Structure 1
Amino acid sequence: MLSELTAGAVEDAERRSLIRPLATVEAQALERSPAIDALSALQPADRVKIIAEVKRSSPSRGVLAEIPDPAALAAAYEVGGASAISVLTEERRFRGSLADLEAVRAVVGIPVLRKDFVATPYQVFEARAAGADMVLLIVAALEQPVLASLHELVTGLGMTALVETHSADEVDRALDIGARLVGVNARDLSTFELDQNLFGALAGRLPAGVVRVAESAVKTAADVARYRAAGADVVLVGEALVTGDPIHVLSEFLAV
């Protein structure tokens, strides 16, 4: 599934590049106002921090919410206390778009993450051109030289890479490239199976100075509390917010 999603995202980016060539997107990226410092926004604090996600659907759960106005939802997240906003931009299975990210960026003052299956420099420049402050890099989807070069490009453009892992080896690979914002995804993106204990098993491999992000398998405040107890500085939440009352759910999660 991960290979299919990544290949599809790259194909869609190649299609977009026929309309907006790399040189154009690169110029637009460099003209953008500087990215917000996501590492500062997500630094460990007395309470857990939340990255709240704009997410319409997923391959594992199908349609979650229509979200006709992603900007309004993101603005509500910010008012509700989220430290950053994640925007799904993958078109085929998650029904997202770069237009969603641009709309969100226009209304919030906190960091915005482009969450997609990024595997090419073009996609990184697209992210910055659309106003992203963070870009997701999935270790399992990328060979180490590609992961390292994309991480360098993200950083060079003033953004922060959220480097997603799912095993001890992947955590080590993330640290080898100097990642300072590392996510552990409870969902195996090859099988889409969940392991809620995975974060706790891997968190100890992340040294001081690296911001620890727990991803997936979050339905209740108890799930957030479990991640927090296991060492999470930040929890990324999507489905639980978009399928319920987002502000009420967010307030419960932030009270952990």
Structure 2
Amino acid sequence: RARAAVSLPVLRKDFTVSDLDVCDARLMGADAVLLIVAALDDHELAHLHSLALRLGLDVLVEVHDADELNRAVELGATMIGVNQRDLVTFEVDRERAAALRPLMRGGTVSVAESGVGGPADAAGLRAAGYDAILVGESVVTASDPEAAVRALVDG
């Protein structure tokens, strides 16, 4: 349904852990899949990354710390997302993305994920060099989601 509703690229934001998950994303019309470094060993990460690319999908490789970022860089990821939310405690560290951005290679599409509460957060991430933000909660819980998105984009 998402594919039919928008002309923008669609990311399957899920725990992608198998070939079937990647193939399902393609069949459902997604343009990209999310690979979470913390959920995959190096072999699984490389295999799923390669499969997704062969199927014509873009890959957003999600990291949470410098070690995971190094794994993503070694993989050759061209789009890396820094999730500011801890997967275990669900606490948000709004400084994480800014701290990790300088460790990315030039030419990498950088995405800041989670913990974007409003326009000031979005502006700070733009200033830190991020190309995009992945936002969920602050838009979904807004009384006017369209206005919330507009405020994030317009700053």
Q: TM-score, normalised by structure 1?
A: 0.59
Match of 2:116 in 1: 218
1:191 is displaced (CA, Å) by: 2.0
Q: Aligned-pair distance for 1:235? A: 0.5
Q: Which residue of 1 aligns with 2:137?
A: 239
Post-superposition Cα deviations, 1:92-118, rounded to whole Å, max 9, x if no partner, equal xxxxxxxxxxx0101211110001111
Kept in 1: contact 2:84–2:97 (CA 8 A): yes
Aligned residues: 154
Greater relative contact order (CA < 8 Å, ≥ 6 in sequence): 1
Partner of 1:51: none
What 5-or-longer segments of structure 1 have no aligned partner?
Answer: 1-102
Instruction: Compute the displacement of 1:188 (Å).
Output: 1.0
5+ residue gaps, structure 2, are: none
The list of structure 1 runs, each at least 4 consecutive aligned residues, that deviate by more than 4 angstroms after superposition, is none
Aligned pair partner of 1:199 in 89, 97, 106:
97
In structure 1, the residue matched to 2:21 is 123
Superposed displacement of residue 141, structure 1 = 0.4
Distance of 1:200 and 1:107 partners within structure 2: 33
Give the deviation of 1:190 after TM superposition.
2.1
1: CA distance, partners of 2:114 / 2:141: 14
Aligned residue number for residue 159 of structure 1: 57
Match of 2:34 in 1: 136
Counterpart code for 1:112: V
Bigger radius of gyration: 1
SS in 1 for 2:12: strand
Aligned to 2:148: 249
Aligned: 1:188 with 2:86: yes
RMSD: 0.8
